[in-house]
Structure 1
Amino acid sequence: MIKAGGCWKHLIFGLCLSASSLGLSASGLAMNAEAQDLGAIEQAISAVLAEYGASEHPTTYVGASVALRLSDDRTITVVAGDADREADIEMRTDHRLLGGSMGKTFVAAALMALVEDGRVALDERAAQYLGGQDWFDPLPNAAEVTLEQLLNHSSGIPIDYFETEPIREALRLSAVENRDFAGHGLTHQDLLRPLGGLEPLFEPGEAFHYSDANYTIIAFVVEHISGQTLEAFVDERFIQPLGLTETERQRREMPRLTAAYMHQRFQQTFPGVPTKAGEYERLTYDPAFEWGGGGWVFTARDLARWGDAWFSGEALSDEYLDLMRASLNHHGAADNDWSYGIGLQWQETGDGLERWYHGGYDPGSIGKVEYRPADDVTLAIMFNTVDIRYERIGDAIWNAVLPLLESD
């Protein structure tokens, strides 16, 4: 919901009365013109979702939630499809979806907030805070890796923990036998134990390899230094001040959480999790396996608000935004020319501009939040269907709305 044209207007089904019927002043007419501009953008987003949601399209979804946050802080929200197809529940703007690795932005923000406070430095070794613990010392490069190298995935850790058999089995049991990780006797430390003793891919800082393990180690550092849980620190430092009222740590059962649908090809990665990975407001598996690797739920509106704050530098000072961007690991054409910094990804657009973003997925949910600094606009796209071609929808939305923003 936004206030436009002198009345509350729902961006899907709402209707505002005309300015003349309300006897509005000149300023009221200007507001109504703004509403018309927002309506054109809304229609453009809806048209893209309708095209890609058609059953004959190779990239399809069950439900979609999209939010576009403009440079003047107005936000357009558009939804399509179903929150739960079998239960006949249509997607609404207040429905929430799992953010997957987009939650890494919160983990990075927490560590960078401690850097900003002068309580830790990026070039310090993780072992300074975690060394001597039986789960940490056997990890690849544990004695040498710095916090910055963990944050930009240059630690040399060779695989992700959900690729190991103990964690895969715990995930399977959570789905098949309804046993949560805690009930299975697993702690957050146990997520990392299966990586102990593995040979590193490379020396710290020499290359790039993405792994949730890097951010789980950072989460432990945040808790060690702050004396708070990761959840409490992020909530106090970012979620509450920014008014992200629909954002919280993910749990198996949550109000207004959409159902989750997973393509069969992902069942090798997540054994035991069915293709319908969650009913409405209840997942079939325990999402606690992600923890420091992501682990928050959002509405698209909240995600766009957070993405705007994180990528534009509002969440921290410009000095620390520069640090995050300076830490980029650069890649080649085989990686679509994208780079990973501290809780952010960078890529040059086709027209020579830049975008800062982060994507993420969990079994049955996928999305991306992207900031275009040239336009000071943030787009959040979230789907309750895992399809690796979802980024095409995001690019199509950008192509549809950017011309309208230029004429606004």
Structure 2
Amino acid sequence: MKTTYFRFALATLCLALTACESTDIPQPTLDAAPDFSEHAQHATYQKAVEDYAGTNRIPGAVLAIKKENAPLWIGATGYSNLEHHTTMQVNTPFRAGSIAKTFVATAVMLLKDEGKFGLDDKLADLLPASKGQIPQAEQITLRQLLAHTSGIFDPTNDDTQYQLDLVNNPARRGAMTPDEVLRRYVYGRSLLFEPGERFSYSNSNYMLIGRIIEQQTGKSLQTVLDEQIIQPLGLTGTYLEKRDDRNVARGYADFYANDKLMDVTALDRAEADGGAYGGLISTAADLFRFSEALFGEKLVGPAALQEMLTPYPVRQGTTTYGLGVDQWESEILGTGYGNNGTLAGTEANVFYFPQKKATFVLMANFGSGTRKGFLDSLLD
């Protein structure tokens, strides 16, 4: 999920004044973690993730590496919970941010194949509540929502009032339904541009897609993801719905750039949990399994996958974003496909590089951005 440093600045001013959550942070109770120490590259990979955490001065991280003709390796370093000095484990769940979008887009493609709707169906038809509330809802297509070319305003990144409301009262924001967020911050706002004209990342697009899925199926988004993706793939550490899960890695940020970390889990939980645009909770192993299935055409067929990978053509500018799938360009590895998720206190990445038949998952409980150039040499 795209974030703004403006929100970070607001948080530094407001967190000290706001009772974000109780100071009684629960002790994690995670089951024993799998052991990857017998992997031939264990020492090399483990040093890499430890160096990554040290260089970026982050509390903890989990790294998964899968190369062609080699088994999966997962390693962890640091802490998932600084309050209790809980050691990060390879099966520690993380808030995965916008990787939720890739799950939701995959569900859309599967529902399309079932005849629930078409990618060129109009927003007003799929979600009648949007008619008269979002300009040109009769012209905006589901495809444009998936590709961030709808022109719909994004309060989570561009609305001062939204950001003030979030940091001043996270509990209130966390209790809001998607419909309430749409009514308060999105409906009635002008489009940024004509639908299809250009690319502009907007979490509102996927908030609307989540509601479309629920309206068109008569099921909760969690149930749809369970039926279409999570249960078929056996993703036992993955969910979207709001849960009180003490094992999820706490989120931290260095707002003042002084190496003093603040626990911002309350902000991440309030803004993202349960949301189609950024509420996914998952583990490194589950994200790898999902990536392997998606890009291996085990979830969607070749034609549907190609649609997801292909950037939507725009009339102005350029974009590397397909339908819920972004690109990672590397001179060494070629083009990778997957997504990045960033919240105030966490970062998650999963990308597959078809040229090398290699995949990485990298998750860190630090949300200010990290340097990841070391991955080129590991995956080459």
Q: Calculate the TM-score normalised by the size of structure 1.
A: 0.76
Query: Sequence identity, in percent?
Result: 27
Query: 2:140 aligned with 1:145, yes or no?
Result: yes
Query: 2:244 aligned with 1:257, yes or no?
Result: no
Relative to structure 1, is the Cα distance of residues 360 and 352 closer, same or farther in structure 2, using a 3 angstrom cutoff? closer
Task: Report if the CA contact (8 A) 1:263-1:275 is conserved.
Answer: yes
Give runs of aligned pairs for residues 266-277 of structure 1, distance below 5 A.
275-277=262-264
Task: Report if the CA contact (8 A) 2:344-2:368 is conserved.
Answer: no
Give runs of aligned pairs for residues 234-245 of structure 1, distance below 5 A.
234-245=225-236
Larger Rg: 1
What code does the residue aligned with 2:207 have?
A: T
> Does 298-307 or 163-172 show the bigger shift?
163-172
Listed one character per residue, the Cα deviations across residues 322-354 of structure 1 (whole Å, up to 9, x for unaligned) are 22223435799xx9x860000101244214722
Residue of structure 2 equivalent to 1:94 = 91
Relative to structure 1, is the Cα distance of residues 326 and 47 closer, same or farther in structure 2, using a 3 angstrom cutoff? same
Listed one character per residue, the Cα deviations across residues 59-104 of structure 1 (whole Å, up to 9, x for unaligned) are 2211001112345683211001111223211101121110001110
Listed one character per residue, the Cα deviations across residues 21-51 of structure 1 (whole Å, up to 9, x for unaligned) are xxxxxxxxxxxxxx5xx332x2222222222
Residue of structure 1 equivalent to 2:219 = 228
* Offset at residue 241 of structure 1 (A): 0.5
* Offset at residue 228 of structure 1 (A): 0.8
Partner SS state of residue 308, structure 2: helix
Residue of structure 2 equivalent to 1:316 = 300
Provide the rounded CA distance (Å) in 1 between the counterparts of 2:227 and 2:70: 22
Partner SS state of residue 276, structure 2: helix
Residue of structure 2 equivalent to 1:378 = 359
Query: 2:149 aligned with 1:154, yes or no?
Result: yes
Residue of structure 1 equivalent to 2:43 = 43
Provide the rounded CA distance (Å) in 2 between the counterparts of 1:9 and 1:357: 25
Residue of structure 1 equivalent to 2:375 = 397
* Offset at residue 265 of structure 1 (A): 6.4
Residue of structure 2 equivalent to 1:196 = 187
Partner SS state of residue 252, structure 2: strand
Provide the rounded CA distance (Å) in 2 between the counterparts of 1:290 and 1:139: 23
Task: Report if the CA contact (8 A) 2:149-2:199 is conserved.
Answer: yes
Task: Report if the CA contact (8 A) 1:141-1:155 is conserved.
Answer: no
1:126 to 123, 129, 153: 123
Listed one character per residue, the Cα deviations across residues 241-287 of structure 1 (whole Å, up to 9, x for unaligned) are 10100111253620411121023169xxxxxxx93113xxx878424
Provide the rounded CA distance (Å) in 1 between the counterparts of 2:326 and 2:173: 32
Relative to structure 1, is the Cα distance of residues 320 and 161 closer, same or farther in structure 2, using a 3 angstrom cutoff? same
Residue of structure 2 equivalent to 1:24 = none
* Offset at residue 299 of structure 1 (A): 1.1
What code does the residue aligned with 1:39 have?
A: A
Query: 2:324 aligned with 1:343, yes or no?
Result: yes
Relative to structure 1, is the Cα distance of residues 112 and 384 closer, same or farther in structure 2, using a 3 angstrom cutoff? same
* Offset at residue 167 of structure 1 (A): 3.7
* Offset at residue 161 of structure 1 (A): 3.7
Give me the CA root mean square deviation.
2.8
Provide the rounded CA distance (Å) in 2 between the counterparts of 1:370 and 1:79: 18
Q: Calculate the TM-score normalised by the size of structure 2.
A: 0.82
Residue of structure 1 equivalent to 2:174 = 181
Task: Report if the CA contact (8 A) 2:238-2:280 is conserved.
Answer: yes
Task: Report if the CA contact (8 A) 1:253-1:283 is conserved.
Answer: no
Residue of structure 2 equivalent to 1:117 = 114
* Offset at residue 218 of structure 1 (A): 1.0
Residue of structure 2 equivalent to 1:358 = 339
What code does the residue aligned with 1:399 have?
A: S
- Structure 1: where are the runs of 5+ without partners? 1-7, 13-34, 267-273, 403-408
* Offset at residue 168 of structure 1 (A): 3.0
Residue of structure 2 equivalent to 1:107 = 104
What code does the residue aligned with 1:112 have?
A: M
What code does the residue aligned with 1:400 have?
A: L
Partner SS state of residue 356, structure 1: strand
Task: Report if the CA contact (8 A) 2:197-2:314 is conserved.
Answer: no
Residue of structure 2 equivalent to 1:3 = none
What code does the residue aligned with 2:148 have?
A: H
2:163 to 144, 148, 168: 168
Residue of structure 2 equivalent to 1:31 = none
Relative to structure 1, is the Cα distance of residues 160 and 386 closer, same or farther in structure 2, using a 3 angstrom cutoff? same
Relative to structure 1, is the Cα distance of residues 329 and 307 closer, same or farther in structure 2, using a 3 angstrom cutoff? farther
Residue of structure 2 equivalent to 1:406 = none
What code does the residue aligned with 1:275 have?
A: M
Residue of structure 1 equivalent to 2:22 = none
Partner SS state of residue 264, structure 2: strand
Provide the rounded CA distance (Å) in 1 between the counterparts of 2:222 and 2:90: 24
Structure 1 runs of 4+ with >6 Å offset: none
What code does the residue aligned with 1:130 have?
A: L
